[in-house]
């Protein structure tokens, strides 16, 4: 085989891990010992993101939850600690799994039981800024502060009832809605863009790049933060919708070809795509990502780019709006007989 033949073409799909169920969720899996090196990686990851200049751009609900969760900055927490701080507040329960990335069908079966899975895998030193797959730092630091919050538990409660009754096509939309809300969503808070998604929060490179986009929009006079920010983003989206959909269709093709298999390649190929489509990279389109209002129709078109670059971030005017928009798609499916 040639070198190219040995190199898989990655399109964002998750390879199934064939692990016997009795080995996946066991008492032994729940409380495991970590090495000094693993605790040191945790400590450096925690310190790297727990910086005031980063935290100020993360929504208040995350910071409130982080205080309630009482994570040790120097040591990976025990599952018992997590459940003691989460279950009495929202009824959700944490369970550790030996699977590195749980497939959606298995994931939502657990969600239906109000069980949130965390993996036993921790990224290595060479992935401190960006990890190509979710690890326990992402699961715990990114998601679990929110699970102390009733509003977040209510959002998570929406997905499993719909997923269990959805067609295959609808399941793909549901996965994307979760991806672009709880994993990589944004929200308006005090007329400022704030990071909500756990995937962005737990990845220092992605968090920093997202924050840079917030500043770029102002620097390039794309938005005026003294005016109504969400209305401006809506207007920008509507006025550029044709080109946004052309970009999404182009990204889908790149995605199918496996050309978005890393953070660096993702940006480079999308920049080339703009040139191919004849779209000038200025104003609204001159950043590393496009920020658009949370829109179910648009999210349904865009690929769920696991292990790869996210070309768009979607913002809600409030968590109440996010709740209503998710309900508009998920509730009718969940209510089917």
Q: What is the pLDDT, as a whole number, of residue 18?
A: 56
Mean per-residue pLDDT for 191-207?
93
Q: What is the pLDDT of residue 53?
A: 94
Q: How large is the average pLDDT for residues 222-235?
A: 97
Q: Note the pLDDT of residue 6.
A: 40
Please check whether residue 196 is in contact with residue 64, taking contact to mean a CB–CB distance below 8 angstroms. Answer: no
The answer to which of 53-62, 82-91, 287-296 has the lowest mean pLDDT is: 287-296
| Model confidence band, residue 17 (pLDDT cutoffs 50, 70, 90) | low
Asked whether residue 12 carries a pLDDT value surpassing 80, the answer given is no
Which residues lie closer than 8 Å to 3 by C-beta, 6 or more apart?
Answer: none
Q: What does the pLDDT look like over 42-63, one tens digit per residue?
A: 999 999 999 999 999 999 999 9
Q: How far is CA 209 from CA 130, 244, 282, in A?
A: 11, 20, 17
Predicted structure pTM score:
0.90
How much is the pLDDT for 306? 57
Helices 60-69 + 150-165 axis angle, to 10: 100
Phi, psi of 53 (to 5 degrees): -70, -15
CA distance 290 to 272: 15
Residue (of 307, 270, 328) closest to 127 by Cα position: 307
H or E, element range at 160: helix 150-165
| pLDDT(8) > 50 | no
The average confidence (pLDDT) of the chain is: 88
Q: By C-alpha distance, which of 333, 334, 287, 332 is closest to 313?
A: 287
Q: What is the mean pLDDT of residues 155-181?
A: 95
Element (H, E) at 259: none
Q: How confident is the model at residue 264 (pLDDT cuts 50, 70, 90)?
A: low
Q: Which pLDDT does position 308 carry in this prediction?
A: 61
* In the chain, domain spans: 15-165, 186-334
Q: Name 30's Cβ contacts closer than 8 Å, sequence gap at least 6.
A: 79, 95, 96
Instruction: Give residue 233's pLDDT.
Output: 98
Return the percentage of the chain with pLDDT > 70, whole number. 87
In the DSSP assignment, the letter for residue 289 is S
Gap between the Cα atoms of 73 and 227, Å rounded: 38
- pLDDT classification of 271: cutoffs 50, 70, 90: confident
What is the assigned CATH class of domain 15-165?
mainly alpha
Residue 60 CA: distances (Å) to CA of 3, 55, 336: 48, 9, 36
Q: Per-residue pLDDT for 111 more than 60?
A: yes
Q: Residue-wise over 136-149: b if at least 16 C-beta within 10 A, else e?
A: bbbbbbbbbbbbbb
**9-18, 86-95, 266-275, range with greatest mean pLDDT:** 86-95
User: Which DSSP string corresponds to 91-103?
Assistant: S-EEEEES-SS--
Residue 69 has pLDDT above 60, yes or no: yes
How many Å apart are CA 65 and CA 150, to the nearest integer? 10
Place of tokens 């993101």: 49
Higher-confidence residue of 188 and 264: namely: 188
8 Å CB contact between 162 and 330:
yes
């Amino acid at each position: 085989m040639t070198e190219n033949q040995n190199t898989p073409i990655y399109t964002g799909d998750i390879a199934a891990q064939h692990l016997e169920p009795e080995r996946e969720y066991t008492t032994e899996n729940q409380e495991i010992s970590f090495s000094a090196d693993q605790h040191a990686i945790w400590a450096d990851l925690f310190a790297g993101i727990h910086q005031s200049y980063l935290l100020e751009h993360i929504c208040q609900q995350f910071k409130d939850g982080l205080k309630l969760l009482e994570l040790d900055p120097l040591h990976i927490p025990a599952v018992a600690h997590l459940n003691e701080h989460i279950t009495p507040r929202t009824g959700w329960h944490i369970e550790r799994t030996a699977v590195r990335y749980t497939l959606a069908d298995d994931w939502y079966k657990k969600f239906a039981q109000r069980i949130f899975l965390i993996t036993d895998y921790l990224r290595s030193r060479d992935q401190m800024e960006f990890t190509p797959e979710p690890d326990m730092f992402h699961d715990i630091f990114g998601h679990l502060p929110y699970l102390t919050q009733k509003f977040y538990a209510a959002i998570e409660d929406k997905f499993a009832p719909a997923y269990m009754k959805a067609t295959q096509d609808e399941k793909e939309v549901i996965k994307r809605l979760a991806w672009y809300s709880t994993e990589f969503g944004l929200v308006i808070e005090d007329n400022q863009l704030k990071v909500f998604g756990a995937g962005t929060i737990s990845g220092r490179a992605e968090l920093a790049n997202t924050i840079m986009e917030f500043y770029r929009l102002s620097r390039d006079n794309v938005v005026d933060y003294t005016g109504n920010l969400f209305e401006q983003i809506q207007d920008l989206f509507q006025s550029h919708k044709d080109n946004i959909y052309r970009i999404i269709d182009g990204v889908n093709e790149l995605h199918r070809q496996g050309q978005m298999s890393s953070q660096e390649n993702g940006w480079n190929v999308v920049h080339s795509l703009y040139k191919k489509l004849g779209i000038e990279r200025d104003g609204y389109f001159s950043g590393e990502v496009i920020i658009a209002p949370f829109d179910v129709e648009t999210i349904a078109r865009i690929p769920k780019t696991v292990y790869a670059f996210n070309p768009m971030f979607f913002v809600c005017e409030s968590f109440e709006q996010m709740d209503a928009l998710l309900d508009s798609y998920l509730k009718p499916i969940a209510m089917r007989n």
